[in-house]
Each structure stands twice: as C-alpha cells, then as structure tokens.
Structure 1
Amino acid sequence: MEPLEVVAAVIVDGDRVLACRRREGKVDAGKWEFPGGKIEPGESAAVALAREIREELGVQVRVGEVLRSDVTDAAGRSIRLTCMSAVLAEGRPVSSTDHDRLEWVRPAELPMLDWAEPDLPMVGEIAGV
C-alpha cells in the first residue's frame, strides 16, 4: 500500500521555528507537529503546503526547498512526510483550525515537546540531535 503523502512547513522567524499542538478530537491529539497536511491528487508539494497553511493558519507563506522526506508507520498507516522550508509572506499565525497551541520555539528546545512520530526526524535534524 502506498504511503499517505503529507507535507509540512518548517516556518522560521529569526531564531525560532513554528510548532503546533494538535487539538482534541484529531489523530495524535496533544502531540506537536510542523503545520501542513495532505497533498491532494494533482497538487505539487509546494502548492499543497501553501494551501494547507492558508487554510489552517490563515497566513500566506513563501515555500522554499525540500528539507527531507521520511516514511513512518504511524496510527496504523504509512505516512510519507515531506518537510519544506517556508517563510511568512503575509500575516502572522495566531490561531489554527487543527491546533490548540502555536509556539515559536528555538531549535534546542524542540526536543522538549511531545512530537508526533512522523515529525521526529525533522525535529532531530533541526535540533542537531
């Protein structure tokens, strides 16, 4: 079975990265993740990411390069999470449709949060662990 294709934004602002905690009622509720979502059929990863960030956070981002792509077996399915760099182009996220907390976190502090399994490889790379 092919993995579910998901894309996430590593949004950097100065020396901090945006981390989002999944709200109650969602898969992995209470876990932290980089914002993003599923790639729809016919969408490129960059287009999907810009759409998901606009829908979830209500802001515009400029999507950069692919940072890494990892396949993880999580929640009974296989997920390919492609993490891409992004910068805010318009607006500042203050709330989310899928998350109950948004935090700007320094790289060294990322491992202190309880991350969703698919995001862990990117967290380790950013934090240098």
Structure 2
Amino acid sequence: MANVLEVVAAVIQDGDQFLVCRRRAGKAAGGRWEFPGGKVEHGESAADALRREIQEELAIDIRVTGQLTTDDTLVGDLVIRLTCLHAELDGPRPIESTDHDSLVWVAADDLAQLDWAEPDLPAVRLLIASGT
C-alpha cells in the first residue's frame, strides 16, 4: 500500500486572475507550475495548514473561502492527496516566494497554456471548465 502525503494548495483569485507559481529547478517537478501551498502537519486542518504555508512561502495573509477539489496523484510509491482551497488575498499581492522562482497572475483562459505539476491538473481542469 502506498504512503499518502496530505498537501494543500491555494487557488487565490484577484479579480479575473489566479496566482500561479513555478517550482524552482532542482525540486521535485522543478520548472513546472502549481498553486502555492504545502504539507499538512499532524492535527492541522486543511485551512490552517494552507494559511501557515502561504505565510511561510509568500509572506502574505489569505482568507480561505471554500474547497475546490481533493484529488489523489500516484507518484512512484507515494500518493499525493492535494486539497485545493479557494482563497482571497487579505492584503497586498505577494512579491516573492521561498519555494518558487516565478509568481504570475494568470487569467482562467490562459491556465491551459502552462506546464502544470501533475497533482494540480484536476483543479486546473475544473477552473477551465467553469470559466471562472
């Protein structure tokens, strides 16, 4: 049986744009795009983990407004269980990231043009299908 890694990601929308981040080279899925987030620690709710991770990585505060999706992706012998939560900025847009080499705001119509990390694809497909 595969080990399960619980992770969360923020689908942060500002106007008609979404925040997407490119993973640094040398990291797993380096050079690919993802929604920002990270691992859920033992005893943490998904929303609490996401607020903590976004503060650590992007030095911003967010308001979690709901859940988009939870999907499992098998990577080797590891199941990545990614919960994507809708979020809004609670302050200015982020300027830099500790885990990414690029932060970009992208319209929903342009999401399909990016080379996404595999675990984020189900959320991307939902956003494109909804025309959000």
Q: TM range, normalised to the smaller chain? A: over 0.9
Aligned to 2:63: 62
The gaps in structure 2 that reach 5 residues or longer are: none
Q: Give runs of ≥4 in structure 1 deviating > 2 Å.
A: none
TM-score, normalised relative to structure 1: 0.96
Q: Which amino acid aligns with 2:129?
A: G
Check conservation: 2:40, 2:46, Cα contact below 8 A.
yes
Q: What aligned pairs does 1:21-60 form with structure 2 within 5 A after superposition?
A: 21-60=22-61
Q: 1:54 to 1:94 in 2, by over 3 A?
A: same
Check conservation: 1:74, 1:118, Cα contact below 8 A.
no
Q: What aligned pairs does 1:1-129 form with structure 2 within 5 A after superposition?
A: 1-74=2-75, 76-128=77-129
1:88-122 alpha-carbon deviations (Å, 9 max, x no partner): 00232110000000010000100100000000011
TM-score, normalised relative to structure 2: 0.94
SS, match of residue 90 in structure 2: strand
Between the two proteins, what is the percent identity of the paired residues? 57
Q: Number of matched residues?
A: 129
Distance 1:75 1:25 in 2: 18
**What's the Cα RMSD here?**
1.2
The gaps in structure 1 that reach 5 residues or longer are: none
